Amino acid sequence: MGKTYWMLVTTQENLDITRAYGFSLQGIDTKNRRKAVRMSPEDRVLYYVSDRKSFAATATVTSESFEDHEPIWKHYRERETFPHRVKIDPDVVLDESAYVDGYQVGPTLEYVKKWPPHRWPLAFFGMLHIIPQRDFNFIEGELRRAGGLPGEPNGTINEIPVPDEPQQAIVTVTADSLPTAAQAKLAVGKVTRSFAGSKSRRSSHRRNSPRRRSGRRL
């Protein structure tokens, strides 16, 4: 079977709980048991926050559905424990300030076409929905843009480590490759500048200013 694309409707409080667990586990309520037991590895999950009317995250399912009644998420019915659970890995996870506004993109989704555009939230009643792949990819693309995240669908990079110090390239120069010391010095300078940060590039600019160049010729 091919992967299934799910939209999971949650509250901000419960999304924060999932976030606190590192987006490693997701529970589904009892009413959606029949759908939940169909979830399997490589399925994709799109998070919609109902009390923010916004899209917040995507994740990939990494396990078969299993049952666990340990209380984790909150529900107005105390007996609801969201027992139908899957393990997940996060793909795109935005801070609340960067959520994608549902009113901007919701009415354009294929999934909501049978509702009037101004009543598209009615399509999201209930916790778990199967949505078209096209809708999922579109919203995930909007999430990546809102978060300034590079990457392709199904493999989005959440964070890119940035080194504290500019990286320097080490170049080995041999007599065969560069016959003169002047050429070797020029080659190392070019590669080093390509890896340096903006501060280094500004320093290079000052070194190469017309006044300094005229000084070296003196």
d(CA 24, CA 41): 13
Domain 5-147 class, CATH top level:
alpha beta
The separation between CA 210 and the C-alpha centre of its own chain, rounded to angstroms, equals: 45
What is the model's pLDDT at position 158? 43
Gap between the terminal Cα atoms of the chain: 76
Residue spans per domain, the chain:
5-147, 162-218
Averaged in consecutive runs of 10 residues, what is the pLDDT profile of the chain (218 residues)?
A: 90 97 97 96 97 97 96 92 97 96 93 87 93 97 90 43 39 43 44 40 41 43
Question: Is residue 95 within 8 Å of residue 78, measured between CB atoms?
Answer: no
pLDDT for residue 42: 97
Q: What is the pTM of this model?
A: 0.68
The pLDDT value given to residue 149: 79
Q: What are phi and psi of 55, to 5 degrees?
A: -100, 140
Residue 159's Cβ-side half-sphere holds a number of Cα atoms within 13 Å equal to 7
72 and 19 in contact (C-beta within 8 Å)? no
Report strand pairing: 5-10 vs 44-49. parallel
